[in-house]
Amino acid sequence: MFLFRNAMLFDPRFDERRGGYEVLVEGGRIREVSERPIKTADARVIDCDGRTLMPGLIDCHVHVYLSEVNVSRLENVPVSLLVGRAAPLMLGMLNRGFTTVRDTAGADWGIREAVEKRFLPGPRLFISGRAIGPTGGHSDMRRRTDTHTHNTCRCCDGLKFTMTTADGADNVRAAVREELRQGADAIKIMVSGGVASPYDPLDSRQFSLAEIAAAVEEATAFKRYVLAHAYTPEAITRAVSQGVRTIEHGNLIDPPTAKLLAASKGYLVANLVAYVCIKERAAQFGMDEEKLAKNELVIKGGFESLDICRQAGIRIGYGSDLLGELQNEQSREFLLRQEVMSPLEILRSATLVGAEIIRMDGKLGVIEPGAIADLLVVDGDPLKDLGLLQDQGAHLSLIMKEGFLHKNRLH
């Protein structure tokens, strides 16, 4: 049992920090939030000394198994090594204050359970299993000289574990059912081209309407939902028209398409930092010129898409989408978004909105009785200085995940 005192409380449902509150944590949950002193004889008292007490952060687009910027290099990596590489990546996320993440290509029930049981330190994982796309699309990383089908190729263990292909509505249906059987919390599909894939143009149209509909129908029947990798207005429109719930990236969205997404009560999970870091550093890790050229097509649109979606009233989640050696830049997204969003909006995207996206609203992203005790103590006011969330967690005096202290330098 823990009792937090002398904190400036930031619950993102409000517009500002509030003083005079105490928070009692018991059994992994927040038991009490009070404007009056909480009397308890059993709790360990944590004096925040005027620092900010806020919910743990939520990143809705990560890749814990994609440990290479040049993802093609994963083709000969066994699953056991993927886990070994994922461990320090997940620890880094938790150290930065991200107590929950949604993995959008590859993380499976095994690594999710390893974190749940604290065999590995890391953020709580919500998984989408293998990302599903058509032959030749964004989830097909085969070389042109590889004539095997992606699902049966034995030369690409690491990639096969994180992505798969399916063609035709019945095969998509079967692929979705398999990911659901394997414990997926959501299903990811590819409906447009991508930067990291070798041969598909960004504006390529991937998956037919029938294939998208099959994925949504199966996910919905299992009480899950579908997220779609999509850049162009056409791809976004096609996905939303068939019931896709969250759009990942959306860099090239236009106002009419944004209105459609808003009307469907869908979400955008934006990730500016991925494109900025690819431009700055990906070449040194082996990303080729064709992929870097595709990155240039979407980097400017990323900032414009945020403004378009804000004006349309779309709920925007926090995503980083970083690969391999670039993942230490995860928190930089906070700074980049300041070009078009206020600090309050940005913090809400990584708390309140993130919780809605993973269907944990009221349980994560807030500080209220009954919520899961994911808490951060920040050395200052993040509403005035988002730099406090930089430097790999250096400005976080305390990180609590589900009532367990991962980090504590307070008395």
- The residues facing 2 across adjacent strands are 25, 44
Spatial neighbors of 358 by CB under 8 A, at least 6 apart, are 58, 60, 100, 102, 126, 185, 364
Question: Which residues of the chain carry a pLDDT beneath 50?
Answer: 150-158
What span, in angstroms and rounded, lies between the C-alpha atoms of 363 and 352?
Answer: 10
What span, in angstroms and rounded, lies between the C-alpha atoms of 7 and 45?
Answer: 12
Q: Is the pTM of this model over 0.75?
A: yes
pLDDT of amino acid 153: 41
What span, in angstroms and rounded, lies between the C-alpha atoms of 39 and 20?
Answer: 15
Which long-range CB contacts under 8 A does 260-265 form with residues at least 24 apart?
Answer: 260/236, 261/236, 261/309, 261/312, 261/314, 262/309, 262/312, 262/313, 262/314, 264/240
Tokens 């919390």 belong to residue: 185
**Tens-digit pLDDT profile for residues 152-164:** 443 344 467 788 9
Q: How many CB atoms lie within 10 A of CB 212?
A: 25
What span, in angstroms and rounded, lies between the C-alpha atoms of 350 and 126?
Answer: 15
**Angle at Cα 90 formed by Cα 89 and Cα 91, nearest 5°?**
90
Element holding 354 (H helix, E strand): helix 352-357
| Residue 400 tokens, joined | 């609590």
**Tens-digit pLDDT profile for residues 168-177:** 999 999 999 9
Structural domains in the chain, CATH included, are 2-55+365-408 (2.30.40.10), 57-357 (3.20.20.140)
Element holding 396 (H helix, E strand): strand 396-401
